[in-house]
Amino acid sequence: MKKNILIFTDLDGTLLDYHTYSFKPALYALDQIKKRKIPLIICTSKTRSEIEVYQSKLDNPHPFISENGGAIFLPKDYFKKISLGLKKKGGYLVKELGTPYQILRKKLLEITKKFSQKVKGFGDMSVREIQKNYGLNLKEASFAIKRGYDEPFYFVTSPDEKTLKGVEKEFSKIGLNMFKGGRLFHLTGKNDKGKAVKILKKMYEKEWEKKVISIGLGDSFNDLPMLLAVDFPVLVKLHNGRYEEKVLKKLKKPFLAKGIGPEGWNQAVLQLLERIEGEK
């Protein structure tokens, strides 16, 4: 009997190597997913334009979740049973969950100024700065700057823990969410990866008329909502060879991948597929 499996994955530091952005060590598992016709759903802080590059490289025709749950992009005609409240954008039907980027930018500068903190977000950087600072090529950097629902930023002046919590609390008061990702802080609305994952799972269940079994793979704290929303949460080792402690504390029974980034991803996916498909 065919199992209705969905795989949700973070990119940076998880499916992609932290330093090289390569997914080569995960090719065998990716091939097995494709053979089994299991939807691979990218769920990342990256923008739609950035994700489309990897959709193409992976030859992946399935929906994806951009900017930490800011929006769900469904390829046109992917689902026959369409949910309401979707917008048409390009070749997609889009479920928007995030706060518009212009509002995030405005509030980021207002609130950090209150705490005498200087920050620099993607909205303050040129394409070349992003290219130089984050190991991207020029084309990738030009895609990274096209934000819709999430502002990545860093503190120019390093705040102490008390100040950081104060800033976070002020954002929370106005319905915004600040958290630390793999390399940068992010400011979003009340959307997160987990909310988007739950919505997309329901879409698949409506389409397939069956419950789905979900696997989620991530490495950092901003992946926690996604990992809490799936049946099999997988924590991949960080580039330093350790697991993210904050995530470990919050997950009841995570599957701990034995390798770093895509190596751990490959091992975890193969092991879980064997376990799930072996169950009656």
Known catalytic residues are 10
Report yes or no: 237 and 257 within 8 Å, Cβ to Cβ. yes
Helices (H), the chain: 27-35, 48-57, 101-114, 127-134, 138-144, 161-173, 193-208, 224-228, 245-250, 261-278
Three-state DSSP state, 114: helix
Rounded to 10 degrees, the C-alpha dihedral 201/219/56/82 comes to: 10
In whole angstroms, how far apart are CA 192 and each of 81, 126, 222, 244? 25, 27, 8, 18
Amino acid 47 reads T
Distance CA 234, CA 22 (A): 19
Rg of the Cα atoms in the chain: 18
